[in-house]
Amino acid sequence: MKNTTSGFDPHHKNKETSENTLAASDPQQVEDLLLKLMAFRGARALQVFAELGIADLLQEGPQSAAQLAQATGSHELSLYRVLRVAAAQGVMEEIEHQVFAQNEMSSYFLSAHPAGLRYQAMMLGASYDSGAALKLDECVRTGKSAIQKLYGSSIWEYLAGHPGESLVYNRAMTALSGLDTLPILQGYDFSTFRSLVDVAGGHGFFLFSLLKAYPALRGILFDRPQVISEASMEEDVADRCSLLAGDMFAEIPAGADAYFLKHIIHDWGDEACSVLLNKCREAMPKHSKLLIVEVIMPPTGARLLDTLFDLAMLIKQGEGAHERTRGNFSSS
């Protein structure tokens, strides 16, 4: 009988498809996507870098992994592997094998940097924050706060019961305030005001900077009791500034020429914001102005950083808290 075998390979089609798929793959795109998928590990390395105060230690000059391990009480090889990840992201430099030096990027992790990121990194690495981020899938399904799900309380109630984490949180907010304080001072004329209340003003970085820029202005720093207890008055504005603790949803200090809310509205849903704004109105004389600083999200094409801040609102506060578009503000 004639052999009719044609040499058919049942796997030929799959093999061809696989080869075509590989040929169509862009190795650089695949690597970029892998880096995004593994970004949490890179961020965690930077958080450990911050928690251990490595940038402060490098102020004295280049140090080896062994020296840094001894100074921080760490396992030398494990610390080196973390430091290598930080250096690969541009934070400090490995100038020779296992020897690291400060650079411009790592200097932002100095404890004393006015707009530094050390406390931001420590906050993001804290178990309540990173643990809540891992519950993002539940936030997506329910619209509810992951903090509420994990701890049975709001983020503010949680921080009130954890003073150490509250201090790091508020120092992180102070550092972020350092990023936009100068543009605000350069972009708005506060000279028409004799008095201003900074509502939920944290540790006072913005208000103290404002008072230094306007020597005739008097200010009130108003925030929750725990936050005010952590704040330190700056001597050169002490005669024109008061620290006042209270609940902004109950009563706000009355009679000032201006009321200032910076990155406060995004923490709350529309109903809570309406209560807060009405409390401001009750406190304001007829001539007073309300000044609000917030991110305005575009309808499309938002910056990645702004979308991540918005996601943090969802995780910590639930669906109501969000970065708003201009239309959201108009319709609220």
3-state secondary structure 142-190: HCCCHHHHHHCCCHHHHHHCCHHHHHHHHHHHHHHHHHHHHHHHHHCCC
Q: Which tokens is 66 given? A: 């062994």
Q: What is the model's pLDDT at position 23?
A: 62
Alpha-carbon distance 133 to 27, whole Å? 30
What does each of the 332 residues of the chain score in pLDDT, given as a tens digit?
455 555 555 555 566 656 666 566 788 999 999 999 999 999 999 999 999 999 999 999 999 999 999 999 999 999 999 999 999 999 999 999 999 999 999 999 999 998 899 999 999 999 999 999 999 999 999 999 999 999 999 999 999 999 999 999 999 998 888 889 999 999 999 999 999 999 999 999 999 999 999 999 999 999 999 999 999 999 999 999 999 999 999 999 999 999 999 999 999 999 999 999 999 999 999 999 999 999 999 999 999 999 999 999 999 999 999 999 999 888 75
| Active site residue ranges | 266
3-class DSSP assignment, residue 269: coil
Residues pairing with 243 in the sheet: 221
CA nearest to 210, candidates 151, 159, 260: 260
For residue 120, which amino acid is it?
A: Q
Residues pairing with 131 in the sheet: none
At a CB cut-off of 8 Å and minimum separation 6, what does 66 contact? 76, 98
Q: What is the model's pLDDT at position 94?
A: 98
Burial 135-146 (b: 16+ CB within 10 A, else e): beebbeeeeebb
Q: What is the model's pLDDT at position 330?
A: 82
Q: Which tokens is 84 given? A: 């290598």
Q: Which tokens is 215 given? A: 């020597």
Q: What is the model's pLDDT at position 74?
A: 98
Q: Which tokens is 292 given? A: 């609000």
Locate all alpha helices (DSSP H) within the chain, ordered by sequence.
12-24, 27-37, 39-51, 54-58, 65-72, 76-88, 104-107, 118-125, 127-133, 136-142, 146-151, 155-160, 163-187, 205-213, 225-230, 270-283, 304-317, 326-331
Domains of the chain: 32-111 (1.10.10.10), 122-331 (3.40.50.150)
3-class DSSP assignment, residue 53: coil
Cα dihedral 277, 281, 286, 289 sign: negative
